[in-house]
Amino acid sequence: MKIKEKHNKKNSGARWTATVTVLSFVLTVIFSFLAESVTEAASVVLSVLIILVLIIISIIADIVGTAVTVCDATPLAAMSSRKVRGAKSALRLIHNSEKVASVCCDVIGDICGIVTGAATTAIVYMIISSGGEGARLWISILLSASVACLTIGGKAFGKKLAHKKSKDIVYLIGRVFSIADKSDK
């Protein structure tokens, strides 16, 4: 019996790895397509706004991934026993915290980082093509540094928030998921 359980766990791990790999490919294609389509036809200002939206998505995903990993399930279990809507979904998130954190922190965070890097490069080339060639190096350095500091600073703030308010964050996400999950009432 134990050998069969180990085999099932191995297969489950391999399936999860394959799933998250395919998911990351699909999400990267979608995010890249949207960002490239908009930045190609947009002004520098709109392109910067797209980068800011991607940074915010990355920060929020990191907050969720962190909150799920540090959240104590006890208060949510009590809420679930009282049939509080969203608590059951929140508990499922906690019970699958490894996968949730992987998708939120790694997949979404890394994809947003890659796409913001590409979008930043596109902005540099937009500026250069409109006559800013002499300052290309400094424009590139300052834009990259700005994106990095906003992302890193935002995630540092988000981690602190996720540790302090993990139950509230996980419950909020559970409430959102409960809309689609009719069994969570």
The 8-class DSSP code of residue 96 comes to T
With contact defined as beta carbons under 8 Å apart, do 55 and 151 qualify? yes
Is the full-model pTM beyond 0.85?
A: no
At 122 the pLDDT is 82
With contact defined as beta carbons under 8 Å apart, do 76 and 174 qualify? yes
- Cβ neighbors of 4 (< 8 A, separation 6 or more) are none
C-alpha distances (whole Å) from 138 to each of 53, 142, 144, 146, 147 are: 24, 6, 10, 12, 14
At 175 the pLDDT is 93
Taking the chain (185 residues) in runs of 10, the rounded mean pLDDT of each run is 54 82 88 76 81 94 97 95 93 94 90 87 80 73 92 96 97 92 68
With contact defined as beta carbons under 8 Å apart, do 147 and 52 qualify? no
Residue 143's H or E segment, with its range, is helix 136-164
At 133 the pLDDT is 64
At 84 the pLDDT is 92
Instruction: Tell me how far apart the alpha carbons of residues 34 and 22 are, in angstroms, rounded to a whole number.
Output: 18
